[in-house]
Structure 1
Amino acid sequence: MATGEVGEVRWCVVTGGRGFAARHLVEMLLRSDQWRVRIVDLSPSIRLEPHEEEEGGGVLGRSLRSGKALYVTADLRDKNQVVQAFQGAEVVFHMAAPDSSINNYELHYSVNVKGTKNVIDACVECKVKRLIYTSSPSVVFDGVHGLHNVDESTPYPEKFNDSYSETKAEGEKLVLKANGQGGLLTCCIRPSSIFGPGDKLLVPSLVAAAKAGKSKFIIGDGSNMYDFTYVENVAHGHVCAEKALAAEEHGSKAAGQAYFITNTEPIKFWDFISKIVGDLGYESPRTKIPVPVIMPIAHVVEWTYKTFARYGMRVPQLTPSRVRLLSCDRTFDCSKAQNQLGYEPIVSLQEGLQRTIDSYAHLQATRHMKTTSKASDFLGNGRVADTLLWKDKRKSLTTILLMAILYYYFYVSGDMCLTSVAKILLAIALFLFIHSKLPAKVFSYRIKRIPPHCFHLSDEMAHRMVLSMCSEWNSLARLFKSIGSGNDWTRFLKVVGALMIINLVGILSIRRSIEIGIPLIFIAVYGYDKWEEKIDSLFVESLSFLSRLKVEAVKMIQKQ
């Protein structure tokens, strides 16, 4: 039996107890064997996941059967239901909140503000001793300015990024103000960007985007830093807060305070996303889209949703508030929680990431599913493939522009070779000079400086280049040696065929070859990459047809 003193049964309540982070908190509380847990949520009955029912490992299933856990249906917007759910509880962990991705002010206000007020009133009426409220770091985010290692002294903004953040801030103010009412001690936890096993939003949405071919885009320049928090650390932070409030009678400073909770390991947001998507076998984001380019589109999408939501339009992924969240810095100083709550992450970021990825094995790209095309394999899956197949649009556009410049100066302009080289070098010098004078940011897009080592050819690089040239020469020598032996007819025919193609191309002028050849290469490899299966099937059918013709021809010859 869960007891505080001998024979004393201690109940705690977790509102929104079937939510993502709340489930982990419930299991942590049950495993501690110090609490009986009342799980409060909207559903009329509790439906357990398979791992929650497993014999020997399903702590929640065992606890429900033994009476150490109890499920209660309650709507926080109904005070009578809340009071009934809180009867006899010593502690309330208020974690219930509506979906943050739905920008519906009425819904958010009814739960995050009115519902929280009902929770506070019920705690006072039921003589609950401690209330821990799950807030959000977004209560200090204005949607414009990034947050870099900010602490709890950061004020609430005048304008919030969305209705969820605004109403969470109002709820947080109510909880902090309620500290001391009727002997109730309160504090607020602000966990940053929660992830982990059991999440039904982040990883599934990333996989869905990857399957739809939308995972290759980076919003902004990709350098924005984030504090992510593994879900067990979030649960641990709540437990630490409860213990600190319990010690309030002995001089704790936690009551009436708000605390950021993180993994204390900031990481680039897009590196985090790439790790999850890449390890699950999908294409990682690589193409950068500047915020000023995508923001007008996001506004149009949001306006369209507001207009057609009544007709059943789904909530869009691309909204202005989400664009801001994906492109800004969001890191937080966790030292206050460490000093006053005794909080330290119990699971590292890398371990948490690996556990998360392992838990979504069912969403992995199937092994037979190729992540690269034959065209990409043929081109080496490197820079050449990225350029010709438009995987890196910046490289592709840069290459086309460079070729256009070379073509103009060396073939169209009619200048002498030396004059063309001088003009190109002049253009490069002018570009580098202007680039060096540009500010660090232009329209919120960070300008990357060209490091000096880009212009330096190291001894090691020069050595590799020479070795590569020698290797190619030796390969060519082996090829002609093999042909000279007179035994390798297949290789001989391949060489003859290649030389005949070169001979045909040579009939054209150099200028005409460039005009036709370069666009043809881009179109051919890109087209094959897009319609690989159709082209392969046509090729197989053609070979089959030729094979049948050959057989028929042989039969005809034999008859004669």
Structure 2
Amino acid sequence: MKALVTGGGGFLGRSIMRKLLARGDTVRVLGRRPYPDLAALGVETVRADLQEAAAVQSACLGMDAVFHVAARAGYWGSWASYYGPNVIGTENVLHGCRKAGVRKLIYTSTPSVVSARGNLEHVDERVPYGEKFECPYPATKAQAEQLVLKANGTDGLLTVSLRPHLIFGPGDPHLLPRIIERGQHGQLIQVGNGANKVDVVYVENAADAHLLAADRLGQAPIDGQAYFISQGAPVVLWAWINTILERLGLPRIRRKMSYRTARTVGAVLEIAYTVLPLRGEPRMTRFLADQLATSHYFDISKARRALGYEPRISTDEGLEITLKSFAGCRTRAT
């Protein structure tokens, strides 16, 4: 199989790329930066932005499958800064696939497309998209996913969307490094009562799901559908974070903030960062408060049944591997 991986130089994209190479597939990577280490592995690299329609179409030429992993993620920023890469970029990928005669498109989405205030406990893919998003990221990802699924069956293109949640593992540039950094400086604050459960997924398991979806497209009736991807059992978020801190020799979280207070603080900071010339991003937003204080975990029975997905690496094993990769982190109690 000849496959294009958008965002192939990123965290999940690299894992997908390595698995494709390991089984003998030909891989092309599209990204905004040069990746000489990937070229050394025999990967063709295309330096382009997703919003460059002609470049995206050119990258799709000759491909059997496209793994559209690239996106702008986060909890703060202007609408335009998310809409461009996430929606326009996806439109360009879809157009490129159809023009180039690509047969399969595997889209990396997020469970946040169904985000809503309150708990989402063991819900499946029948739960509707969110109606009112408080952050451009889930809103634009929801738009993009709907474009992908609507495009299924057009010009011979089969599409599928995967929704991995809180991906962790070696090479993680965001989730654990941010926890560790703030833990080192005593800046972590528990939001809510600490009992909320969330799904996580080890990066290798998430990559497995993408390859399974690619292989099943055209062979099984999975096209035009979305699938939640996780470890299959949620973690208690704040207990899991404290476990990570303890394993790294850092103190447990002692400070707490109620969910209601966090929402209020988030709303105030959102206004401040919108009207004042403040740099960076607010430490709290309403969307972030929801993510930190409510339960959101999902039933992956559909992925198990239709894709044959099963998380091969357990959460404990994945965390062990991940923490070993962070062994060089300088930890200190504060």
Q: TM-score by structure 2 length?
A: 0.96
Residue among 224, 229, 237 paired with 1:269: 237
Is contact 2:222-2:307 (8 Å) kept?
yes
2:207 paired residue number: 235
Secondary structure in 1 matching 2:328:
helix
Residue among 305, 319, 335 paired with 2:301: 335
1:190 paired residue number: 163
1:86 paired residue number: 60
Any stretches of 5+ residues in structure 2 without a counterpart? none
Residue among 239, 253, 265 paired with 1:297: 265
Secondary structure in 2 matching 1:39:
strand
Is contact 2:75-2:136 (8 Å) kept?
no
Once the two structures are superposed, what CA deviation does each residue of 1:43-75 show, in whole Å capped at 9, x if it has no partner?
Answer: 1x2143xxxxxxxxxxx56522xxxx1111121
1:133 paired residue number: 107
Once the two structures are superposed, what CA deviation does each residue of 1:303-352 show, in whole Å capped at 9, x if it has no partner?
Answer: 222223xx461112322211110001010000000000000011100001
For 1:224 and 1:99, the matched residues in 2 are separated by 23
For 1:61 and 1:110, the matched residues in 2 are separated by 27
Do residues 314 (structure 1) and 296 (structure 2) align? no
For 2:222 and 2:61, the matched residues in 1 are separated by 25
1:77 paired residue number: 51
1:46 paired residue number: 35
- C-alpha distance 290-312 of structure 1, shift in aligned 2 (>3 A): closer
Secondary structure in 2 matching 1:40:
strand
Structure number, greater radius of gyration: 1
For 1:31 and 1:161, the matched residues in 2 are separated by 40
Counterpart of 2:10, as a letter, is G
Residue among 266, 286, 290 paired with 2:254: 286
1:494 paired residue number: none
1:31 paired residue number: 22
Is contact 1:146-1:328 (8 Å) kept?
yes
Secondary structure in 2 matching 1:27:
helix
Counterpart of 1:167, as a letter, is T
1:124 paired residue number: 98
Matches within 5 A, 1:105-504: 105-142=79-116, 144-215=117-188, 217-247=189-219, 252-308=220-276, 311=277, 313-365=279-331, 371=333
For 1:200 and 1:305, the matched residues in 2 are separated by 24
Is contact 2:75-2:135 (8 Å) kept?
no
For 2:285 and 2:154, the matched residues in 1 are separated by 40
For 1:202 and 1:364, the matched residues in 2 are separated by 17
Report the CA distance between 1:16 and its aligned residue.
1.1
1:520 paired residue number: none
Counterpart of 1:186, as a letter, is T
Is contact 2:2-2:62 (8 Å) kept?
yes
Percent identical: 38
Secondary structure in 1 matching 2:64:
strand
For 1:265 and 1:285, the matched residues in 2 are separated by 23
Once the two structures are superposed, what CA deviation does each residue of 1:217-265 show, in whole Å capped at 9, x if it has no partner?
Answer: 2100000001100011110010010011041xxxx11010100000012
Secondary structure in 2 matching 1:316:
coil
Instruction: Give structure 1 regions of 4+ aligned residues with deviation exceeding 6 angstroms.
Output: none
For 1:88 and 1:278, the matched residues in 2 are separated by 49
Report the CA distance between 1:364 and its aligned residue.
4.0
Residue among 2, 21, 28 paired with 1:11: 2
Report the CA distance between 1:20 and its aligned residue.
1.1
Is contact 2:87-2:144 (8 Å) kept?
yes
Report the CA distance between 1:195 and its aligned residue.
0.8
Higher percent of residues as helix: 1
Secondary structure in 2 matching 1:361:
coil
For 2:312 and 2:164, the matched residues in 1 are separated by 14
For 1:85 and 1:104, the matched residues in 2 are separated by 28
- C-alpha distance 19-102 of structure 1, shift in aligned 2 (>3 A): farther
Q: CA RMSD in A?
A: 1.5
Any stretches of 5+ residues in structure 1 without a counterpart? 1-9, 49-59, 373-560
Counterpart of 1:63, as a letter, is L
For 1:166 and 1:298, the matched residues in 2 are separated by 18
For 1:305 and 1:211, the matched residues in 2 are separated by 26
Counterpart of 1:233, as a letter, is N
Residue among 41, 49, 52 paired with 1:63: 41
For 2:134 and 2:206, the matched residues in 1 are separated by 23
Q: Larger relative contact order (C-alpha < 8 A, sep ≥ 6)?
A: 2
Report the CA distance between 1:121 and its aligned residue.
0.8
Counterpart of 2:292, as a letter, is L
1:440 paired residue number: none
Equivalent residue pairs, number:
334
Counterpart of 2:212, as a letter, is C
Is contact 2:245-2:251 (8 Å) kept?
yes
Higher percent of residues as strand: 2
Counterpart of 2:29, as a letter, is I
Report the CA distance between 1:129 and its aligned residue.
0.5
For 1:362 and 1:112, the matched residues in 2 are separated by 34
Q: TM-score by structure 1 length?
A: 0.58
Report the CA distance between 1:300 and its aligned residue.
1.9
Is contact 1:74-1:85 (8 Å) kept?
no
Is contact 1:113-1:168 (8 Å) kept?
yes
For 1:32 and 1:265, the matched residues in 2 are separated by 29
Once the two structures are superposed, what CA deviation does each residue of 1:70-128 show, in whole Å capped at 9, x if it has no partner?
Answer: 11112111110101111100000000101323332111111111111111111000000
Is contact 2:5-2:66 (8 Å) kept?
yes
Counterpart of 2:190, as a letter, is I
